[in-house]
Structure 1
Amino acid sequence: MPGLIVICGATATGKSGLALDLAQRLGSPILSADSRQVYREFDIGTAKPTVADRLLVPHYLLDICDPRDNLTVADYQDRALKEIAEVQGLNQVPLLVGGTGLYLKAVVKGLKIPRVAPNPQLRSQLAALGQGQCYAMLQQVDPESTTRIHANDSVRTLRALEVFYVTGCPISQQQGENPPSYPILQIGLDCTEVQEGDRRILIRTQEMFDAGFVAEVESICEKYGTNLPLLHTLGYAEVKQYLAGEISREEAQELTALHTRQFAKRQRTWFRGDRTIEWFAVDQPDLLERVWHRVQGFLEQPKIASVSVTS
């Protein structure tokens, strides 16, 4: 059975470049695991693969949603598992590449996610009761969840109550894991020194602004309005401030780099919690060959079907 290769890590660690090289050697497609690359028109600010990259290697799970839509983790999981199965059906090993930890965990761990869409009206009614009363209600209908949800965590409390009132079943009974049966190799990329990661982020940010990031944000604002939720995300929010005259272009760029460094730190913390990830230092000159050697070892396992590769 063909397996799955995951390339993960914090932003600006070179995941896309490494994946592109591996995909060409394997003759395999790349599946994105980025929560913003799924949306059309959000290109430069999400470091979406270029047209040239997509001509070299087929890419999937990019541009699959309108910016006004809301792709849930459950939606992504369904789409990703379907794409993986189709690629494996061609006797190929897909590469799942990205830095959205929850997307990757949903696939790799087989998270059981309640298929309940957000219900703004119900949430509003519950929120009006106050967190104290909502948490007390949750203790009555789903005491198991309250052992994992803090009494002050209003977001998770409302979600748990929402799932219960929509389905009639506690969210704790609808969660868990059901990992895929095929073998999975998880490759994590990180910098040996924090300073190297910061340097890469500064370069990435400069390249984004040089590539027309401001014009991209301006176009999106004009088309969808400045209240589009995606415009409140990393990079887009800072440029939107600049376009509104609240800060200078230089400040927008500096804040984008700062907030990206903070985000990368949170990503590293998330991924380090998964001990099944095999880590490689991106600032080593032989990175590609070291990862390629590991991939070949993975492909030679008895459970992996024969795959045509080129050196």
Structure 2
Amino acid sequence: MEENDPQGLDDLARHTFVPSLIILCGATASGKSSLAIAVAQRLHSIIISADSRQVYREFNIGTAKPTPREQNLVPHYLIDLCEPTETLTVAEFQEMATSLIERRKTPDVGAAGCPLLVGGTGLYIKSIVRGMKIPRVAPQPELRSQLQPLGQSHLHALLHQVDPVSARRIHANDQVRTLRALEVFYVTGRPISEQQGETPPTYPILQIGLESHRLDQRIEQRTAQMLDMGFKTEVQMLCEKYGEDLPLLSTLGYSEMKQYLRGDISLDHATQLIGLHTRQFAKRQRTWFRVDPTIEWFDADAPDLLEQVWQRVTQFLQADTK
């Protein structure tokens, strides 16, 4: 990606105090990472990852985690935070990301005070943009194991008793949200509906989305690249170290490769399934992000994408200094 800088904009990046946030989002394989690195280099800023799997150590190739070389080009944060056996909640992500953003909002860091929040995990991004109030309650496996056998009908009726507001909001067949509401109530003694809400941040936010009409081809290329980088070996090592039942090994890419390693399917079939399931996942990501009217969309396949985005970024930063 081209690195030349229009006259005068590099000075803006070095010297302007910008208490703001730039978000770069979009479907998987749309080119977010490379664009983010190019923009962050021009801003002399940092990248905060908004990817729910890149927070886990050792899950590298299958999550398209920035390589050590890429991380050396620009400081990356919220990557490799947890062991694969641990669970990072949205509330914990929000707290850490907010701390990073707020910490950068000081005049002495110049435009480096405007970090880039980059990723495809919509809930992570929404938690920052909307300032979602999220109950600080970690998943309770033991409690869930006691509740789940009761059946969804009984669980939803139970929720009606302890939190009728949430029961009206949650569909009677939605067991995931029903269980979450119940565990929050039993852990805190307060309905989850009383602990939710939104307090949007006061600083300006620019949301940039990438859309590609060649996304299927990009996904196919990424899948092939993953295999060339040793994805099969990565999954095999993780299975041997943590066991096949590790929840992260049932996520996109890892699940299909695990089936191949067990001998259930061929490598070609596993590759085809990874491509298919990634395309389905990308479609869900697109649907999520398209609901937000504040996202400004750019053509990821445009030859002058960097210059288009850079022009919008500098307009945003200049407007914020007036």
- Pairwise same-fold verdict (TM > 0.5): yes
Q: Deviations over 1:175-194 (max 9, x none)?
A: 11111111100000001x3x
- Alignment coverage as a number of residue pairs: 301
- Structure 1: gaps (5+ residues): 306-311
Contact 1:31 1:97 in 2 (8 A): yes
Which of 151, 168, 172 is equivalent to 2:193? 172
1:283 aligns with 2:301: yes
Matched with 2:5 is: none
CA distance in 2: counterparts of 1:226 and 1:177, whole angstroms:
38
- Residue 124 of structure 1: CA displacement? 2.2
Counterparts of residues 237-256 of structure 1 (less than 5 Å): 237-256=255-274
Question: For the Cα contact (< 8 Å) 1:131–1:154, is it kept in 2?
Answer: yes
4+ runs deviating over 6 angstroms: none
1:18 matched to 2:35? The reply is yes
Whether contact under 8 Å (1:40, 1:63) holds in the other structure is yes
Instruction: Note if 1:301 corresponds to 2:322.
Output: no
Matched, 1:78 2:95: yes
Other-structure match for 2:130? 109
Q: Does 1:232 align with 2:253?
A: no
Q: Which runs of 5+ in 2 are unaligned?
A: 1-17
Compute the displacement of 1:140 (Å): 2.0
The one of 128, 131, 139 equivalent to 1:118 is 139
Structure 2 residue aligned with 1:220, among 235, 238, 242? Answer: 238
Once residues 174 and 120 of structure 1 are traced to their aligned partners in structure 2, the CA distance between those partners, rounded to angstroms, is 21
| CA drift at 1:125 | 2.2
The aligned amino acid for 2:156 is Y
For 1:269, the equivalent position in structure 2 comes to: 287
Distance 2:243 2:145 in 1: 24
User: What is the aligned counterpart of 1:141 among 145, 162, 168?
Assistant: 162
SS of the equivalent of 2:92 reads helix
Shift of 1:121: 2.3
From 59, 62, 81, the counterpart of 1:45: 62
Aligned residue for 1:292? 310
Amino acid at match of 1:131: Q
Give, in whole Å, the separation in 1 of the partners of 2:97 and 2:23. 12
**Partner Cα separation in structure 2 for residue 160 and residue 34 of structure 1:** 24
Equivalent of residue 152 in structure 1, options 173, 176, 193: 173
Tell me if structure 2 keeps the 8 A contact 1:88–1:94: no
TM-score scaled to structure 1, two decimals?
0.94
Residue pairs, 1:186-197, within 5 angstroms: 186-191=207-212, 193=213, 196-197=214-215
How many angstroms apart in 2 are the aligned matches of 1:282 and 1:30? 19
CA distance in 1, matches of 2:316, 2:101: 17
Whether the aligned pair in 2 keeps the contact of 1:4 and 1:183 (CA below 8 Å) is yes
AA in 1 matched with 2:134: I
Aligned-pair identity in percent equals 64
Aligned-pair CA distance for 1:250: 1.1
**Cα distance in structure 2, aligned partners of 1:115 and 1:31:** 21
Q: Which amino acid aligns with 1:279?
A: W
Q: TM-score, normalised by structure 2?
A: 0.91
The aligned counterpart of 1:308 is none
How much does 1:86 deviate?
Answer: 2.1
Distance, in Å, in 1 between the alignment partners of 2:105 and 2:230 is 37
Please state how far the C-alpha of 1:35 moved relative to its aligned partner.
0.5
1:7 and 2:51 matched:
no
Larger CA deviation: 149-158 vs 114-123 = 114-123
SS of 1:39's equivalent in the other structure is coil
SS of 1:88 mapped into structure 2: coil
Find 2:203's aligned residue among 182, 185, 188: 182
1:9 is displaced (CA, Å) by 0.1
**Which whole-Å CA distance do the structure 2 matches of 1:166 and 1:69 have between them?**
19
- For the aligned residue pairs, the C-alpha RMSD in angstroms reads 1.2
Post-superposition offset of 1:7 = 0.2
